[in-house]
Amino acid sequence: MRELTYDPRNIEERLRKARARLQSQFGVGVGEWNLDHDQDHLTSTDRRSVTSRKFFLGEAWWVERPAFGDYRPYLATSSHTPGLVTRREDRSGQPVEMAPLLPRGGRGFVPEPTAGLDSGTGFALALRRPIAREEIGAPLATLNGKEKQRLSVEVEASRRAVARDG
């Protein structure tokens, strides 16, 4: 029977690799002994972690309406509107490119029914813009993999159309 030995260098190396992987994936410093906690924190949709995590394509969040240029009085409607993340950021803390809720009857990206989103909720990809993370509230939903691919294709087509017309 082989004797198991405790090698602190092995553990240190594993922690170093785990920290490096998390830093490259999420773009923030990771605590020395709290890798599991940091992993949960950096991947969660908890409002407190918005500034320290990267955002991923296809996440839908409540966003303050003025961030999308909607300055109607708050009594006219809700002070927040759904916004869809249209691009993954390279670094945490950066503004997040999001598309606003689609006006009724407009053309845009309408995801398949997704848990957390009302059926038929759509997003105006042509009106997407960078949104400061302070304007972002609670998470609503995350699109599935097929929907994320479709969103990526439609955003790229929208970018090409703007470049061609602009």
How do the domains of the chain map onto residue ranges?
Answer: 1-43, 54-165
Distance CA 53, CA 93 (A): 8
Residue 64's φ and ψ, nearest 5 degrees, are: -60, 130
Q: Which CATH class is domain 54-165?
A: mainly beta
User: What does each C-alpha distance from 23 to 35, 125, 159, 165 come to in angstroms?
Assistant: 11, 30, 30, 39
Instruction: Specify the 3-state DSSP secondary structure of 163.
Output: helix
At residue 73, the pLDDT reads 77
| Averages of pLDDT over each 10 residues, the chain, 166 residues | 57 71 66 56 66 84 91 75 90 89 80 88 92 91 92 90 78
Structure tokens at 67: 């961030």
Which strands make up the sheet holding 59-64, listed edge to edge? 129-131, 96-100, 80-85, 59-64, 136-142
> What is the separation of C-alpha 147 from the centre of its chain, rounded to a whole number of angstroms?
14
At residue 15, the pLDDT reads 66
Residues 6 or more apart in contact with residue 120 via CB below 8 angstroms: 110
At residue 18, the pLDDT reads 74
Residues 6 or more apart in contact with residue 156 via CB below 8 angstroms: none
Q: What is the dihedral of CA 100, 106, 107, 112, to 10 degrees?
A: 70
At residue 108, the pLDDT reads 85
Distance CA 83, CA 101 (A): 6
